């Protein structure tokens, strides 16, 4: 069970922002990679997948948080999975009804949201220990962070791989698309490139901090 101190902490901007940036599920935690790579061959698919995942994340976090005192510890993982599977079934039928085009593009990956470790991770490490509103804010942060990461991957892959963004052509007819980018290898390459970029930014920031420390300490 959670310690009482953490329960009384108010909701801060950090509750939301942590999942969005500092602990971004895809780029920092390396969770939920399967859908992140599989459906991001266009920006619109990325948003569809991100939206569906965010909905499941919100729903399951709310229910887990409400039921957190009723679920016995021994069967908690199984209970979380059943809760998540319920919401995924809802999303699956909803997308099927709303947009057949998106449904066909995402295929089995809508149902595979069940095994997205981001959602189970949130249920286990946050929603089962915090109040409803706080869990919802946190889940929203993580969901937006996930969607953001997917959009980063999807837009780069779509621009390079088909020369379009959200279906609008960007470069004119002379552009020769890098077809490999919308094929599976492109998913790995683009993710690798984004990770490299983030690692480089992080290293630069750290170097700046240590340099500042040195200049402060130098006179004394």
Partner 1 sequence: MHPDDLSFIFLNAFIINNFVLAYFLGLCPFLGVSGKLNTAWNMGLATTFVMFVSSLCAYGLNQLLVQYHLEFLRLISYIAVIASAVQLVEMIVKKTSPALFRALGIFLPLITTNCAILGLALFQTFKEYSFVQSLVYSIGAGAGFTLALMLMAGLRTRMDLADVPAISRGAALSFMLAGLLSLTFMGFAGLGTH
- Contact 94/28 with Cβ under 8 angstroms? no
User: Which residues from 169-188 bind partner 1, rule CB under 8 A?
Assistant: 180, 183-188
Question: Could you say which of 49, 57, 88, 160 contacts partner 1 (CB under 8 A)?
Answer: 88
Three-class DSSP category at 42: coil
Contacts of 113 (CB under 8 A, 6+ apart): 35, 52, 53, 56, 84, 88, 91, 119
* Residue 199 binds to partner 1 (criterion: CB under 8 A): yes
CB of 15 or CB of 32, closer to partner 1: 32
Q: Which stretch binds partner 1 (CB under 8 A): 31-39, 58-66, 136-144, 165-173?
A: 31-39
Question: Could you say which of 11, 117, 151, 165 contacts partner 1 (CB under 8 A)?
Answer: 117
Tokens of 90: 């809802």
Closest CA to 143 of 15, 50, 18, 31: 50
Question: Could you say which of 6, 12, 14, 78 contacts partner 1 (CB under 8 A)?
Answer: 78
Return the DSSP state at 114: G
Closest CA to 29 of 37, 38, 18: 18
* Residue 71 binds to partner 1 (criterion: CB under 8 A): no
By CB under 8 A, name the binding residues for partner 1.
30-31, 33-34, 37-38, 77-78, 81-82, 85-86, 88-89, 92-93, 108, 111-112, 114-117, 120, 180, 183-189, 191-193, 195-196, 199-200, 203
């Amino acid at each position: 069970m959670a310690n009482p101190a953490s329960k009384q902490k108010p909701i801060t901007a950090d509750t939301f922002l942590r999942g969005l940036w500092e602990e971004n599920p895809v780029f920092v935690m390396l969770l939920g990679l399967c859908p992140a790579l599989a459906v991001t061959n266009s920006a619109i698919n990325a948003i569809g997948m991100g939206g569906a995942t965010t909905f499941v994340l919100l729903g399951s976090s709310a229910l887990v948080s409400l039921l957190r005192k009723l679920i016995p510890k021994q069967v908690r993982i199984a209970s979380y999975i059943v809760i998540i599977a319920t919401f995924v079934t809802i999303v699956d039928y909803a997308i099927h009804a709303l947009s057949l085009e998106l449904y066909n593009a995402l295929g089995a990956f809508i149902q595979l949201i069940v095994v997205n470790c981001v959602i189970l991770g949130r249920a286990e490490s946050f929603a089962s220990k915090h109040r409803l509103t706080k869990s919802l804010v946190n889940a929203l942060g993580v969901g937006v962070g996930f969607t953001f990461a997917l959009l980063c991957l999807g837009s780069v892959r779509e621009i390079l791989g088909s020369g379009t963004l959200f279906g609008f052509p960007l470069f004119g007819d002379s552009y020769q698309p890098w077809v490999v980018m919308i094929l599976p290898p492109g998913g790995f390459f683009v993710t690798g490139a984004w990770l490299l970029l983030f690692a480089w930014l992080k290293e630069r920031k750290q170097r700046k901090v240590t340099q500042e420390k040195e200049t402060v300490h130098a006179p004394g």
